[in-house]
Chains A and B, each alone.
Chain A
């Protein structure tokens, strides 16, 4: 049985300042409960795509539909649409320092549910649950800028967990994480999958993608969708990965060993 489309991206192009192309003619569909990975080298347009899916940028060409409705600037100006969309979709930014702008961890985790009109009692309860789920209760009153990279990432995830969206957009979530935090993050994403959440992760970390992806879209350095498929097919296609600057052949000068 085919699940409902969460996002439908049709022939989408995007250019910064209408000149510098970031995405070109992208077509893809994201279905409910999928755990999709967007693979691409730095600058290939992965982060831009996530911001488009989160309704922060709007296509210069083509269209995006979210939950069957056009995701446009004018629709997002409508309070009811905006409220419903923001409740269902959350983005974890690549740079946690950008995402964590509140004076304390508690304020950070409470920010989204408060803006979306939940009562203070419910927000308090959600904050407690999110901090507990991510095992960061002791950070509650700390200032986010004093935290380590791994702690910041947990707080960023907690700031979405308190909202409990249906769709999680994760932009390069592995950057700056130590091995223990990385393993924890994989477990966290697998838990989201078990809860039937839709997870879209932008990364260039192939090993990380392999651990939880149900489908992979690969972007090339010309900001185009180079391939889509199952993880087994995509990750076995070395020529594709090499062409998209996601793996490399390394020849040493001394012994001409290729690996």
Chain B
């Protein structure tokens, strides 16, 4: 009963947390820093190259070195270290760890730990799981570095330069923009409901309220999508979109391009 009564607060705090995280990420992306100063196109290409390098590397030390490089870049880009490390390493064991868990016991080799029910963790199994976690954690860190240091609109702009179809980018941008708006509306709906709830609601009442809010949001989003379409048509949209591509590479961008190109080659060479 006690747990159920916190449903409203939990939903509210969940929505608020999502909005705050989004604000926090944007605040970091607007701060001065090494990665923030780079051309977004370069950042996307460099991240992709490093991700490919990490996926192809078979040497844990090389992958570890890339992870350290990512942490160094995070520190030089005004990203709090504890946030950067925790964000990745709290999620990786939970998702990748669960998937990799059977490998601990299934890969044959020298026994490392004997567990109850005759389960044996083998040395190659443990190595294999740790290697996978390191690879996934490093890849996630690289992506997180890109996301935290690049405003979303710059990422989208850079995608268009990289020949991703304009209409795909526009839809992606609108999806993010309107999810954010709908989150705000949902937050207001929950707050409005909370302000009128006295005492505790039963599980059935809470489910009913959630369904009502969901339906209302769906109706609002449908109405909004048709209005957005009209707003686009009003400003000349006729089925294809032309976007602005004002990016220009500067000298420092060429320097970092060379740096990331060399780093990727080194990763591939040493990690083979």
Contact = CB atoms under 8 A, between A and B. Distances in A.
B218 interface: no
Interface stretch (B99-107, B124-132, B225-233, B263-271): B225-233
A5 interface: no
A103 B156 contact: yes
A21 interface: no
A91 B230 CA distance: 10
Interface stretch (B56-64, B136-144, B239-247): B239-247
Given A51-B230, A95-B227, A101-B174, A163 B238 contact: no
Contacts of B227: 93, 95, 98
A143 B236 contact: no
Interface centre among B232, B233, B236 (most CB of A within 10 A): B236
A141 B231 contact: no
Scoring A54, A82, A103 by chain B CB atoms within 10 A of each residue's CB, the highest score goes to A103
Give the secondary structure class of A's interface.
Answer: helix
A103 B235 CA distance: 16
B167 interface: no
Nearest to B185: A97
Interface stretch (B45-53, B66-74, B114-122, B147-155): B147-155
B181 A145 contact: yes
Contacts of B242: 114-115
Interface in A110-139: 110-112, 114-116, 120, 123-124, 127
A98 B231 contact: yes
Contacts of A90: 234-235
Nearest to B23: A146
B177 A112 contact: no
Contact of B235 (A95, A141, A146, A159): A159
A106 B244 contact: yes
Contact of A97 (B26, B181, B236, B245): B181
Given A54-B234, A101-B231, A115 B181 contact: no
A56 interface: yes
Interface in B154-190: 154, 156-157, 170, 173-174, 176-178, 180-181
Given A91-B234, A115-B236, A146-B26, A101 B151 contact: no
26 contacts: A51-B230, A56-B230, A82-B236, A83-B236, A90-B235, A91-B234, A93-B227, A93-B234, A98-B224, A98-B228, A98-B231, A101-B231, A103-B152, A103-B156, A104-B153, A106-B244, A107-B157, A112-B236, A116-B236, A120-B246, A127-B244, A141-B151, A143-B177, A144-B177, A145-B177, A159-B235
- Counting from the closest, the 9 A-B pairs by CB-CB distance are A115-B236, A103-B153, A104-B153, A112-B235, A103-B173, A98-B227, A114-B242, A110-B244, A116-B236
Given A114-B242, A115-B236, A163-B235, 13 more contacts: A56-B233, A56-B234, A90-B234, A98-B224, A98-B227, A101-B232, A102-B173, A103-B153, A103-B156, A104-B154, A120-B245, A145-B180, A146-B26
Interface of B: 26, 151-154, 156-157, 170, 173-174, 176-178, 180-181, 224, 227-228, 230-238, 241-246
